């Protein structure tokens, strides 16, 4: 292989995986929270709430990230409304270091999502790990998990100006379904809804 070709390949080499959160990885997650990153793009208070939870009960915190039977407490929406939790789980995006999180949730009957749930899958990459293809790869890996829980398609939503997230979805076979108005809990802003078929 010519030398330059090898260099170009390693620059594009994407090595992240999605992992079940564990005690061994927890210090890296805490460091990201302490560095000002929030796993919730909409509710930044979540970072402080999670740090307090981890301090109090690290095992319970980790267990709550893996909840395919929706045993956890109700979810709080950005406007403070509390709604029943859907089955779901989070994975941590990892390349030897903590890179971000990706979550999957689904209605127990595998039917349509309730209007206050903005998509089956959500993700965020910490700023220092962005633009390496990690969100694109993590979504691809999570689609395999979505098939395993019996979903025939997933919906994802983005803000209308979130070009990066839209590229991540399109690169994974997403098709734009509609421009829509978000539920009142999200201030009725405009969003884009995409769909990925899982054949
Ligand atoms: C959106 C986000 C997850 C993308 O993560 P990422 O790992 O940097 O994404 P990728 O490296 O896989 O990049 C995917 C594409 O978006 C492009 N991209 C990345 N950041 C971009 C930016 N700020 N502006 C425009 N394009 C961008 C990449 O160049 C790539 O395009 P390409 O395939 O044509 O090369 C990340 O920016 C983030 O965490 N943002 C805050 C949270 C968020 O918006 N989550 C999604 C909510 S819907």
Nearest atom in ligand 1 to the alpha carbon of residue 124 is: 39
Residue 193 Cβ inside 6 Å of ligand 1? The answer reads: no
The confidence score (pLDDT) of residue 4 equals 41
Q: Which of 118, 131, 194 to probe ligand 1 with, by most ligand atoms within 8 A of CB?
A: 131
Residue 166 Cβ inside 6 Å of ligand 1? The answer reads: no
DSSP states of the chain: --HHHHHHHHHH----EEE---TTTHHHHHHHHHTT--S-SS-THHHHHHHHHHHH-HHHHHHHTEETT--SPPEEPTTS-EEPPPSEEEEEEESSSEEEEEEEE--TTS-PPPTTS-BSEEEEE-GGG-SSSHHHHHHHHHHHHHHHTT-SEEEEEEETT-HHHHHHHHTTT-EEEEEEEPPGGGTT-EEEEEEEE--
**Is the predicted pLDDT of residue 2 greater than 80, yes or no?**
no
**Is the predicted pLDDT of residue 8 greater than 90, yes or no?**
no
- What is the average pLDDT score of the chain? 92
pLDDT in tens, 66-90: 999 999 999 888 888 999 999 999 9
Q: Which of the four pLDDT bands, split at 50, 70 and 90, describes residue 5?
A: very low
pTM for the predicted model, two decimal places: 0.92
């Amino acid at each position: 292989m010519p030398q330059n070709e090898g260099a170009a390949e390693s620059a594009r080499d994407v090595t992240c995986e999605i992992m079940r959160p564990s005690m061994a990885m927890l210090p890296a997650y805490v460091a990201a929270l302490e560095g000002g990153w929030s796993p919730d793009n909409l509710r930044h208070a979540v970072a402080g709430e999670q740090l307090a939870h981890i301090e109090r009960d690290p095992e319970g915190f980790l267990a709550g990230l893996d909840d395919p039977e929706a045993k956890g407490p109700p979810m709080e929406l950005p406007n403070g409304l509390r709604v029943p939790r859907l089955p779901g789980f989070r994975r941590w995006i990892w390349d030897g270091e903590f890179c971000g999180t990706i979550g999957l949730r689904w209605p127990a009957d595998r039917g349509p999502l309730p209007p206050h749930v903005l998509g089956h899958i959500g993700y965020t990459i910490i700023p220092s790990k962005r633009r390496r293809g990690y969100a694109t790869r993590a979504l691809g890996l999570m689609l395999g998990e979505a098939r395993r829980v019996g979903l025939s398609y997933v919906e994802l939503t983005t803000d209308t100006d979130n070009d990066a997230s839209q590229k991540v979805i399109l690169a994974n076979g997403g098709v734009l379904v509609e421009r829509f108005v978000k539920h009142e809990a999200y201030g009725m802003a405009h969003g884009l809804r995409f769909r990925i078929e899982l054949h």
